Amino acid sequence: MTSGVTIVIPTWNGLELLERFLPSVISAAQHYSHNSGAPTELLIVDDDSKDNTVDWLLSKRFLCVDSNEGVRRNEQSSEGDSTLGVESKRTALIDTSNHPLPALTLLRNSCNLGFGETCNRGFRAARYPLVLLLNNDVEIASDAIAPLVANFTDESIFAVHCRVFDLQSGRQCGTGKLGSFARGFIRVHRSYVLANQDTGSLIGVTPRSSANPLYSMFAGGGSAMFDRGHLLDIGGFEPLLSPFYWEDVELSYRAWKRGLIVLFEPRSVTRHQVSSTIGKLDRHRVSRIEQRNRIVYHWIHLQDAGLLFSHLIWICILAATAPLRLKFDFILALIAAIKLLPRVLKRRREENIASLRTDREVFEIFDAMLGRSDLRVYDRYEDLAQARASKDR
C-alpha cells in the first residue's frame, strides 16, 4: 500500500525537544516520500506553549493555522518581522539536499487543552488518510514509516505501533502488548517480542508472515500510525481523560471492541526520551490523574457483568486498605472519578451500543497468542534479558 501520511506531533513547552528530535522526523518523512512517491505532511499542534516554540517553528518555514479562524496564514514573529517575504531570516529545519521537505504546518491552541484534545485537533486537520502520531521527544528511524503503512491493506486495521527503545538506557520500552483481566482490572502491559529478535538491536527484523499477525492491546500515542477515518468515526481521544494518561489505552480498547484491530510493527523503530514533559510536573498530581483515568477507563468499557463485579469488589478493597498502605492518592483519584460519574455513565451507554466485541472476546484474542512459538512473552524487561542470556549460554 502506498498512501500519503500526515505526521502529527502535539507539543507543550517543548522547544528543546523539538530542536533535538524534529530532524529525525523530517528525515523519515523525506525517506518515505522519496521511496514511495507518496506525499507527507508534518503537522505540529502547539498546546498554548509559553516558551518560544511558535517563533522557532515559524523561523523553520512552518505555516501557521489561526486557532480561531481555522485558515492558513502567515504570522508575525516576536521581533515583529513578518515571515512573508523575509526568506533571509527563515531557515530550513535540516539540510534538504536532494529531497524536498514535507508540508510544514503549525496549529496553535488558544488555551491549554491537554494531550488528547490536542491530538484530536491534529487528526481533524490532517490531509492524508494515515496519521503517524509522535511525541515531541521521539527520535524515529529514517525507514520506519513504510513498514507501518504496509499494514493498512486490511480495512479493519485501526492502528499500528512502533518498536520503542529508551533513549537513555537503550532498553526496549515499547513492544507488543497483551491484554488480559486479573484481580479486578484489565491488564495491558504484559509484553512480547519475536522469539528470534535481538533484544538490544535497532536493526529491523525480517518481514513476518501475515498468517501470524502481531496483535497488540494498545498503540502507544507516542509512536503509532492510525487510520484517520476510523479514529474520527469512533470519536478520537476521550475528553474525560484530559489532560493526560490512559488516552491511548482507552482509544485502542474502544477500537478493539468496535471490531477493529491494533498491531505491533517491530520493523519500525523509534527511540524515546521517557517522561520528558510529564516528568516535570508534580508527581502526586500526576499519580492522581493516572489512577483516576484508569478507573474511568474501566467504568466506561467493562461491560461484562462478572468482570465488572470483580472490578468493583477490588475497588472497594483498595479504597478500604489505602490508608493502611499509605496510598492516599488512590482515595483522591477515586473521589475524582466519582465526580465524573454522570458523564462516565453516558459514555458507558454509548459504548455498550456501539461495541461489536465483548470484553471476553477481546481477551480471547490475546490468550490465543500465549502459545505461539514465534513469540517470547515477558512481564518485566529483566525477565526478557535473563531469558536471552540463558539461551546464549
Residues 292 and 339 in one domain: yes
* One domain, residues 241 and 289: no
**pLDDT (mean) for 219-228:** 95
The reply to whether 388 falls in a domain is no
As a whole number, mean pLDDT of residues 31-59 equals: 94
Work out the average pLDDT over 300-318: 97
Same domain, 311 and 254: no
Q: Say whether both 326 and 252 belong to one domain.
A: no
Query: Is residue 368 a part of any domain in this protein?
Result: no
Quick check: helix, strand or coil at residue 180?
A: strand
pLDDT tier at 211 (50, 70, 90 boundaries)?
low
Q: How confident is the model at residue 210 (pLDDT cuts 50, 70, 90)?
A: low
Q: Please check the confidence at residue 59 and state whether its pLDDT lies above 60.
A: yes
- Total domain count for the chain? 2
Among 225, 249, 280, the domain boundary falls at 280
Contacts of 98 (CB under 8 A, 6+ apart): none
Helix (H, G, I), strand (E, B) or coil at 269: strand
Task: Give burial (CB, 10 Å; 0-12/13-18/19+) of 23.
Answer: middle
Average pLDDT over residues 149-164: 96
Range with the poorest average pLDDT among 138-142, 261-265, 282-286: 282-286
Based on the fold, state whether residues 298 and 223 are members of the same structural domain: no
- Structural domain containing residue 136: 5-280
Last-in-domain residue among 223, 252, 280: 280
Rounded average pLDDT over 193-209: 57
Q: State how far the Cα of 282 lies from the Cα of 278, in Å rounded to an integer.
A: 9
Contact in structure between 157 and 10 (CB atoms under 8 Å): no
Inform me whether the pLDDT recorded for 87 exceeds 90.
no
Please state the rounded mean pLDDT for residues 252-262: 98
Nearest alpha-carbon partner for 40 in 99, 92, 118: 99
137-148: average pLDDT: 96
CATH number at residue 65: 3.90.550.10
d(CA 28, CA 148): 12
Q: Domain for residue 326, yes or no?
A: yes
Q: Grade residue 94 by pLDDT with cuts at 50, 70 and 90.
A: low
Least confident of 88-97, 146-155, 192-201, 378-387: 88-97
- Quick check: is 361 in a domain? no
**Helices (H), ranges, 191-324:** 228-233, 247-257, 283-301, 305-321
276-286 exposure pattern, b = at least 16 Cβ within 10 A, e = fewer: bbeeeeeeeeb
Higher pLDDT, 196 or 104: 104
As a whole number, the mean pLDDT across the chain is 87
What are residue 125's phi and psi, to 5 degrees? -85, -15
346-377 pLDDT, tens digit per residue, is 999 999 999 999 999 999 999 999 989 999 99
Q: Quote the pLDDT of residue 290.
A: 94
Question: Does residue 199 sit in the same domain as residue 269?
Answer: yes
Residues 177 and 300 in one domain: no
What is the per-residue pLDDT for 183?
95
Is residue 376 in a domain? Answer: no
Q: What percent of the chain stands above pLDDT 90?
A: 69
Residue 321 lies in a domain: yes
Q: What is the pLDDT of residue 279?
A: 57
- Alpha-carbon 347 to chain mean position: 22
pLDDT-derived band at 168, boundaries 50, 70, 90: confident
Closest CA to 105 of 159, 39, 175, 199: 39
68 and 143 both lie in a single domain = yes
pLDDT at 123 > cutoff 90: yes
160 and 231 in one domain? yes
* Res. 390: pLDDT tops 80: no
46 with 168, same domain? yes
Domain end point (choices 235, 255, 280): 280
Same-domain status, 103 and 23: yes
pLDDT for residue 68? 47
Q: Are residues 202 and 315 in the same domain?
A: no
Q: Is residue 317 part of a domain?
A: yes
252 located within any domain? yes
